Chains A and B, each alone.
Chain A
Amino acid sequence: DTEVTQTPKHLVMGMTNKKSLKCEQHMGHRAMYWYKQKAKKPPELMFVYSYEKLSINESVPSRFSPECPNSSLLNLHLHALQPEDSALYLCASRDYRGSAPDTQYFGPGTRLTVL
Protein backbone atom coordinates (compact mmCIF):
# COMPACT_ATOMS: atom_id res chain seq x y z
CA ASP A 1 0.00 0.00 0.00
CA THR A 2 1.64 3.22 -1.18
CA GLU A 3 -1.24 5.50 -0.37
CA VAL A 4 -1.52 8.68 1.62
CA THR A 5 -5.14 9.56 2.38
CA GLN A 6 -6.50 12.97 3.28
CA THR A 7 -9.87 14.03 4.61
CA PRO A 8 -11.93 15.96 3.86
CA LYS A 9 -11.46 16.47 0.11
CA HIS A 10 -13.13 19.88 0.27
CA LEU A 11 -13.68 22.22 3.18
CA VAL A 12 -15.43 25.57 3.33
CA MET A 13 -15.10 27.49 6.56
CA GLY A 14 -15.71 30.92 7.94
CA MET A 15 -13.02 33.04 9.51
CA THR A 16 -14.26 32.28 13.02
CA ASN A 17 -14.53 28.52 12.59
CA LYS A 18 -12.25 25.83 13.95
CA LYS A 19 -11.66 22.84 11.71
CA SER A 20 -9.09 20.09 11.24
CA LEU A 21 -7.50 18.39 8.26
CA LYS A 22 -6.48 14.77 8.58
CA CYS A 23 -3.75 12.78 6.85
CA GLU A 24 -3.06 9.08 7.20
CA GLN A 25 -0.46 6.65 5.85
CA HIS A 26 0.15 3.00 6.61
CA MET A 27 3.50 2.60 4.89
CA GLY A 28 5.47 2.85 8.11
CA HIS A 29 6.99 6.14 7.00
CA ARG A 30 8.62 8.14 9.78
CA ALA A 31 8.53 11.57 8.16
CA MET A 32 5.29 13.41 7.36
CA TYR A 33 4.81 16.78 5.73
CA TRP A 34 2.18 19.51 5.33
CA TYR A 35 2.32 21.69 2.23
CA LYS A 36 0.17 24.59 1.07
CA GLN A 37 -0.34 25.09 -2.66
CA LYS A 38 -1.88 28.15 -4.27
CA ALA A 39 -3.18 28.03 -7.82
CA LYS A 40 -0.50 27.70 -10.50
CA LYS A 41 2.29 27.64 -7.90
CA PRO A 42 4.43 24.81 -6.59
CA PRO A 43 3.77 23.50 -3.09
CA GLU A 44 5.16 25.48 -0.16
CA LEU A 45 6.39 23.53 2.81
CA MET A 46 4.63 24.29 6.10
CA PHE A 47 5.66 21.61 8.60
CA VAL A 48 7.74 18.45 8.84
CA TYR A 49 7.32 15.76 11.48
CA SER A 50 10.14 13.31 11.95
CA TYR A 51 9.59 10.32 14.21
CA GLU A 52 6.42 12.02 15.48
CA LYS A 53 8.27 15.17 16.54
CA LEU A 54 7.99 18.54 14.83
CA SER A 55 11.33 19.06 13.11
CA ILE A 56 10.58 21.92 10.71
CA ASN A 57 8.15 24.83 11.00
CA GLU A 58 8.55 27.17 8.05
CA SER A 59 7.45 30.23 10.05
CA VAL A 60 3.80 29.32 9.62
CA PRO A 61 1.25 31.58 11.39
CA SER A 62 -0.08 30.17 14.65
CA ARG A 63 -3.59 29.91 13.23
CA PHE A 64 -2.26 26.67 11.71
CA SER A 65 -1.46 24.09 14.37
CA PRO A 66 -0.04 20.69 13.41
CA GLU A 67 -0.34 17.55 15.45
CA CYS A 68 1.10 14.07 15.03
CA PRO A 69 -0.81 11.73 17.40
CA ASN A 70 1.00 8.64 16.14
CA SER A 71 3.32 7.51 13.38
CA SER A 72 0.47 6.99 10.90
CA LEU A 73 -1.58 10.10 11.48
CA LEU A 74 -1.01 13.81 10.93
CA ASN A 75 -3.54 16.54 11.66
CA LEU A 76 -3.62 20.22 10.81
CA HIS A 77 -5.85 22.26 13.11
CA LEU A 78 -7.21 25.47 11.66
CA HIS A 79 -8.52 28.46 13.61
CA ALA A 80 -9.32 32.03 12.70
CA LEU A 81 -8.12 31.65 9.14
CA GLN A 82 -8.07 34.43 6.57
CA PRO A 83 -9.45 34.31 3.01
CA GLU A 84 -5.86 34.30 1.69
CA ASP A 85 -5.38 30.93 3.41
CA SER A 86 -7.67 29.39 0.79
CA ALA A 87 -5.53 26.82 -1.03
CA LEU A 88 -4.92 23.14 -1.63
CA TYR A 89 -3.35 21.55 1.46
CA LEU A 90 -1.23 18.56 0.68
CA CYS A 91 0.15 15.94 3.01
CA ALA A 92 3.13 13.76 2.15
CA SER A 93 5.19 11.07 3.79
CA ARG A 94 8.50 9.35 3.25
CA ASP A 95 10.73 6.84 4.89
CA TYR A 96 14.31 7.19 5.99
CA ARG A 97 17.03 5.03 4.54
CA GLY A 98 20.01 5.99 6.62
CA SER A 99 21.14 9.36 5.33
CA ALA A 100 19.68 8.82 1.86
CA PRO A 101 16.42 10.55 0.99
CA ASP A 102 13.50 8.42 -0.11
CA THR A 103 10.53 9.00 -2.37
CA GLN A 104 7.88 11.34 -1.01
CA TYR A 105 4.33 10.09 -1.44
CA PHE A 106 1.68 12.78 -1.66
CA GLY A 107 -1.95 12.64 -0.69
CA PRO A 108 -4.74 13.96 -2.95
CA GLY A 109 -5.06 17.15 -0.94
CA THR A 110 -7.81 19.06 0.82
CA ARG A 111 -9.15 22.06 -1.07
CA LEU A 112 -9.84 24.70 1.55
CA THR A 113 -11.98 27.78 0.99
CA VAL A 114 -12.11 30.44 3.71
CA LEU A 115 -15.05 32.82 3.43
Chain B
Amino acid sequence: KNEVEQSPQNLTAQEGEFITINCSYSVGISALHWLQQHPGGGIVSLFMLSSGKKKHGRLIATINIQEKHSSLHITASHPRDSAVYICAAYVQGAQKLVFGQGTRLTINP
Protein backbone atom coordinates (compact mmCIF):
# COMPACT_ATOMS: atom_id res chain seq x y z
CA LYS B 1 0.00 0.00 0.00
CA ASN B 2 1.35 3.43 -0.97
CA GLU B 3 1.93 5.95 1.78
CA VAL B 4 -0.02 8.48 -0.32
CA GLU B 5 -3.19 7.36 -2.07
CA GLN B 6 -5.31 9.38 -4.48
CA SER B 7 -8.80 8.89 -5.78
CA PRO B 8 -10.18 8.69 -8.30
CA GLN B 9 -7.43 7.59 -10.69
CA ASN B 10 -9.41 8.90 -13.67
CA LEU B 11 -12.17 11.48 -13.77
CA THR B 12 -14.15 12.74 -16.74
CA ALA B 13 -16.62 15.59 -16.34
CA GLN B 14 -18.49 18.19 -18.33
CA GLU B 15 -17.42 21.80 -18.47
CA GLY B 16 -18.79 23.75 -15.53
CA GLU B 17 -18.95 20.86 -13.10
CA PHE B 18 -17.51 21.00 -9.59
CA ILE B 19 -14.54 18.65 -9.30
CA THR B 20 -13.12 16.99 -6.19
CA ILE B 21 -9.92 14.95 -6.05
CA ASN B 22 -9.02 13.22 -2.81
CA CYS B 23 -5.70 12.35 -1.23
CA SER B 24 -5.15 10.19 1.86
CA TYR B 25 -1.87 9.47 3.54
CA SER B 26 -0.83 6.95 6.15
CA VAL B 27 2.28 8.61 7.61
CA GLY B 28 3.02 11.77 9.56
CA ILE B 29 3.62 14.64 7.21
CA SER B 30 4.86 18.19 7.58
CA ALA B 31 3.21 19.55 4.41
CA LEU B 32 1.42 18.46 1.27
CA HIS B 33 1.72 19.66 -2.31
CA TRP B 34 -0.95 19.62 -4.98
CA LEU B 35 0.73 19.51 -8.38
CA GLN B 36 -0.60 19.85 -11.93
CA GLN B 37 0.92 18.29 -15.02
CA HIS B 38 -0.41 18.83 -18.53
CA PRO B 39 0.24 16.12 -21.13
CA GLY B 40 3.88 16.07 -22.14
CA GLY B 41 4.59 18.97 -19.84
CA GLY B 42 6.42 19.90 -16.69
CA ILE B 43 4.92 20.05 -13.24
CA VAL B 44 3.42 23.14 -11.63
CA SER B 45 2.89 23.44 -7.91
CA LEU B 46 -0.67 24.60 -7.27
CA PHE B 47 -0.59 24.62 -3.49
CA MET B 48 1.54 23.64 -0.56
CA LEU B 49 -0.37 23.42 2.69
CA SER B 50 0.14 22.08 6.17
CA SER B 51 -3.22 23.04 7.69
CA GLY B 52 -6.61 24.47 6.83
CA LYS B 53 -7.54 25.69 3.41
CA LYS B 54 -6.05 27.65 0.53
CA LYS B 55 -7.76 29.21 -2.48
CA HIS B 56 -6.40 30.44 -5.77
CA GLY B 57 -8.88 31.46 -8.41
CA ARG B 58 -11.16 28.49 -9.09
CA LEU B 59 -8.96 26.09 -7.15
CA ILE B 60 -9.38 25.28 -3.47
CA ALA B 61 -7.25 22.89 -1.42
CA THR B 62 -8.05 21.67 2.05
CA ILE B 63 -6.23 19.45 4.49
CA ASN B 64 -7.36 17.70 7.67
CA ILE B 65 -4.28 16.67 9.60
CA GLN B 66 -6.20 14.56 12.15
CA GLU B 67 -7.93 12.55 9.41
CA LYS B 68 -4.81 12.46 7.21
CA HIS B 69 -6.79 13.63 4.23
CA SER B 70 -6.59 16.42 1.68
CA SER B 71 -8.87 17.45 -1.15
CA LEU B 72 -8.45 19.57 -4.25
CA HIS B 73 -11.59 21.22 -5.59
CA ILE B 74 -12.07 22.92 -8.94
CA THR B 75 -15.12 25.14 -9.34
CA ALA B 76 -16.64 25.91 -12.75
CA SER B 77 -14.30 23.42 -14.46
CA HIS B 78 -12.99 24.23 -17.92
CA PRO B 79 -11.39 22.07 -20.63
CA ARG B 80 -8.04 23.76 -19.92
CA ASP B 81 -8.18 22.17 -16.45
CA SER B 82 -7.66 18.81 -18.14
CA ALA B 83 -4.40 17.52 -16.71
CA VAL B 84 -2.97 15.05 -14.22
CA TYR B 85 -3.24 16.22 -10.62
CA ILE B 86 -0.76 14.76 -8.15
CA CYS B 87 -0.66 15.06 -4.41
CA ALA B 88 2.75 14.75 -2.82
CA ALA B 89 3.61 14.83 0.87
CA TYR B 90 6.70 15.82 2.78
CA VAL B 91 7.05 12.98 5.24
CA GLN B 92 8.08 14.33 8.64
CA GLY B 93 11.83 14.50 9.00
CA ALA B 94 12.42 13.80 5.32
CA GLN B 95 13.70 16.11 2.61
CA LYS B 96 11.79 14.32 -0.08
CA LEU B 97 8.25 14.18 -1.40
CA VAL B 98 6.20 11.00 -1.44
CA PHE B 99 3.91 11.07 -4.48
CA GLY B 100 0.42 9.76 -5.03
CA GLN B 101 -0.29 7.97 -8.29
CA GLY B 102 -2.06 10.96 -9.82
CA THR B 103 -5.60 11.67 -11.01
CA ARG B 104 -6.12 12.09 -14.73
CA LEU B 105 -8.83 14.73 -15.18
CA THR B 106 -10.60 15.30 -18.49
CA ILE B 107 -13.10 18.14 -18.84
CA ASN B 108 -15.24 17.90 -21.93
CA PRO B 109 -16.73 21.04 -23.52
Measured CB to CB, the residues of A under 8 A from B are 31, 33, 40-43, 45, 48, 50, 55-56, 90, 92, 100-109, 111
Contact = CB atoms under 8 A, between A and B. Distances in A.
A65 B7 CA distance: 36
A106 B42 contact: yes
A27 to B, nearest CB: 13
B33 A103 contact: yes
A45 B40 CA distance: 19
A42 B101 contact: yes
Given A40-B102, A100-B50, A106-B42, 19 more contacts: A40-B104, A41-B101, A41-B102, A42-B88, A42-B99, A43-B99, A45-B96, A45-B97, A48-B96, A90-B42, A100-B31, A101-B30, A101-B31, A101-B90, A103-B45, A104-B45, A106-B35, A106-B43, A109-B42
Nearest to B100: A42
Contacts of A42: 86, 88, 99-102
B41 interface: yes
B45 to A, nearest CB: 5
Q: In this complex, which of A33, A42, A43, A103 has the most chain B Cβ atoms within 10 angstroms of its Cβ?
A: A42
A56 B95 contact: yes
B44 interface: yes
A108 B37 CA distance: 10
Contact of B96 (A40, A56, A105, A107): A56
Nearest to A107: B42
A105 B97 CA distance: 12
B19 interface: no
A104 B86 contact: no
Contacts of A90: 42-43
A111 to B, nearest CB: 8
A48 B95 contact: yes
Shortest beta-carbon contacts, A-B, top 3: A108-B42, A42-B99, A106-B43
Contacts of A45: 96-97
B22 to A, nearest CB: 16
A105 B45 CA distance: 7
